[in-house]
Amino acid sequence: MERLSPDILTLLPATVMRHAGARPSGPRIVHLGLGAFARAHLAAYTQEANALAGTDWRIVGVSLQRPDMRDALQPQSGLYTLVTRAPEGPQRAIIDVVTDVLVAPENPSAVVDMLADAKTRIVTLTVTEKGYCHLPASGKLNWEHPDIVHDLANRERPRSAPGFLVAGLAKRLAMGLAPFTVMTCDNLPSNGRVLAGLVLEFAEKVDPALAAWIRSEGAFPSCMVDRIVPATTPADIAETEAALGLHDASPVMSEPFRQWAIEDHFVAGRPAWEKAGAEMVAEVEPYEFMKLRMLNGAHSSLAYLGYLAGHETVAEATADPLFAGFLEKLWAEIIPTVPAPPGVDLADYARRLLERFRNPAIRHRTWQIAMDGSQKLPQRLLGTLRWRLERGLASPALLLGIAGWMRYAAGQDEKGQPIDIRDPLAARFAEISAAAQGDAAKLSGGLLDLQAIFGADLPARDDLRTAFAGELRALLSGGARQTLAHFLNQPPNVGASIQRSQP
Ligand code: CS2
């Protein structure tokens, strides 16, 4: 089968959308962490903005860990298929804005040079929560993180995202160039402000004059990104190949919905993303709160409880009335904690989320979302819990979601099989779980004592210790379905016969 490439685009079926025209080399965005999400979101918006505004912004991706994305995209000259999967059927488009992918560990200096190149105007990031090397509970740089320790000692050959940003900016200052705008597209609250803080902390340590320059000349706009984009599977690749009649080694699968709220503060220009539907807003925080707490908070709760109940995907879990009932209660607890963005009705937003979660064409694995819980819990669930605790409000659904994480972090599923836990703190969870020997209070207490996740305030509350021990005991003895049924006051077999979506 022939490989997708610029020369054979004419062979594509007429239903596949493609971007016509040459590939001039315009202003550049360097994107750190070029995964499926950025390719379905940032790149799609950028391609559309280029077409509508007559510009030629291009993206150079940087992989901070593995060569896979470079190896898949380079033989295709950066082209790939974006498959938009609606319940009524897929649409396919060829995305043609990625010109190159660099693999940082192979040649870190090439990445620093690319960052310092005059054509680079914006550096965007999707490096996931743990890629910031910070302490999730405090938002400060983790000076003990091995990559930060390494980057301080090897400033021109860094490994971490903060290390690369500081090295690239330092080189630009030395060359007499203006800084680039840095925009994180990760799911962190006040993401631009947090990243600015990390970069400045690092820069201050190595050169206070550099920090002062970044502070006065640089820009770190916050933004809220939203699009559900599960990891691409071999079945997705085969399906795309059959539809295209060409081999694409790395298509991306996305839901139709997308949203991007951006703080409009760029020091060296930007694509006209608003022409492609991005919202340029004065204040991003309300959008972030809404999305992180309502979408991601629900996603994580569903991921842990759903995985334990044997649901492989979010669509399967939400088709189960027990989980749909749980979500309704969870959103009722979250909504009062969220300041609604202008013109948004949060109850309506929740209804649309349920529809998006139910999309049977999207196979988003609960296991994938369950990853890195230690990095996700604070902004997804714990801020909401704190808000309610401060006001003396009960939060049974939130507590159950967090207890679901505790049960999952214990490392064995309900059939006694080991869970493949991916988390920077996985070794700590295993120690705590081994020491607890199945005792719910010891297990929940040990996990709650992880201050990097729960801060100092939550572990200090005896009422929470008791509540988590109780929820965890129920999950350990009765399982997730029975606990949910009890929580909703319904028989546990409700929905057990619901037909699972086909792989
Ligand atoms: C998910 C997100 O994997 C996860 O943790 O909750 O990737 C989610 O799909 C996106 O934030 C949706 O915009």
Ligand 1 site-directed mutation target among 129, 191, 295, 327, most atoms within 8 Å of CB: 295
Nearest CA residue ID for atom 9, ligand 1: 228
β-strand 89-95 against 80-86: which pairing, if any? antiparallel
pLDDT of 136 higher than 90? no
296 C-alpha to ligand 1 centroid (Å): 6
What is the structure's pLDDT at 497? 42
Question: Which residues have CB under 6 Å of ligand 1?
Answer: 187, 226-228, 295-296, 299, 368-369
pLDDT confidence bin for 381, thresholds 50/70/90: very high
pLDDT confidence bin for 249, thresholds 50/70/90: very high
What is the structure's pLDDT at 194? 96
Cβ atoms within 10 A of the Cβ of 51, count?
14
pLDDT of 380 higher than 80? yes
Shortest CA distance to 312 belongs to which of 105, 501, 120? Answer: 501
pLDDT of 496 higher than 70? no
369 C-alpha to ligand 1 centroid (Å): 7
Contact predicate 478/486, CB 8 Å: yes
What is the structure's pLDDT at 491? 67
Nearest CA residue ID for atom 10, ligand 1: 228
Is 181 strand, coil or helix? strand
- How far is 72 from 94, CA to CA, in rounded Å? 15
Q: What is the DSSP string of 83-130?
A: EEEETTEEEEEEE--EEEEEETTT-HHHHHHHHHSTTEEEEEE---GG
37 C-alpha to ligand 1 centroid (Å): 9
Ligand 1 site-directed mutation target among 296, 363, 376, most atoms within 8 Å of CB: 296
DSSP one-letter code for 295: I
pLDDT confidence bin for 498, thresholds 50/70/90: very low
- Percent of the chain past pLDDT 70, that is, above it, reads 96
What is the structure's pLDDT at 24? 60
| pTM passes above 0.75 | yes
Mean pLDDT score, 354-382 = 97
Nearest CA residue ID for atom 5, ligand 1: 369
What is the structure's pLDDT at 52? 96
pLDDT of 501 higher than 70? no
Segment 27-63, tens digit of pLDDT: 999 999 999 999 999 999 999 999 999 999 999 999 9
Is 62 strand, coil or helix? strand
Mean pLDDT score, 163-186 = 98
* DSSP count for the chain of H helices, then E strands: 22, 13
What is the structure's pLDDT at 492? 66
225 C-alpha to ligand 1 centroid (Å): 10
Q: 76 burial class (0-12, 13-18, 19+ CB within 10 angstroms)?
A: buried
β-strand 58-63 against 28-32: which pairing, if any? parallel
501 C-alpha to ligand 1 centroid (Å): 20
Mean pLDDT score, 182-204 = 97
Give the distance from CA 330 to its chain's centroid: 21
pLDDT confidence bin for 17, thresholds 50/70/90: confident
- How far is 312 from 361, CA to CA, in rounded Å? 14
What is the structure's pLDDT at 7? 84
Ligand 1 site-directed mutation target among 185, 191, 227, 228, most atoms within 8 Å of CB: 228
Q: How high does pLDDT run on average in the chain?
A: 95
Nearest CA residue ID for atom 8, ligand 1: 228
pLDDT of 23 higher than 80? no
Residue 416's contacts (CB-CB under 8 Å, 6 or more residues apart) are: none
pLDDT of 502 higher than 50? no
| Beta strands in 293-393, from DSSP E residues, in sequence order | none
In the chain, what are the domains?
6-281 (3.40.50.720), 285-488 (1.10.1040.10)
Residue 403's contacts (CB-CB under 8 Å, 6 or more residues apart) are: 444, 468, 471, 472, 475
- Percent of the chain past pLDDT 90, that is, above it, reads 91
Mean pLDDT score, 254-261 = 98
pLDDT of 355 higher than 60? yes
Nearest CA residue ID for atom 11, ligand 1: 226
What is the structure's pLDDT at 490? 75
Mean pLDDT score, 243-254 = 97
Segment 420-455, tens digit of pLDDT: 999 999 999 999 999 999 999 999 999 999 999 999
What is the structure's pLDDT at 356? 98
What does the buried/exposed string (b/e) look like for 360-397 if buried means 16 or more CB atoms within 10 Å of the residue's CB? Answer: ebbbbbbbebbbbbbbbbbbbbbbbbbbbbeeeeebeb
Q: 242 burial class (0-12, 13-18, 19+ CB within 10 angstroms)?
A: exposed
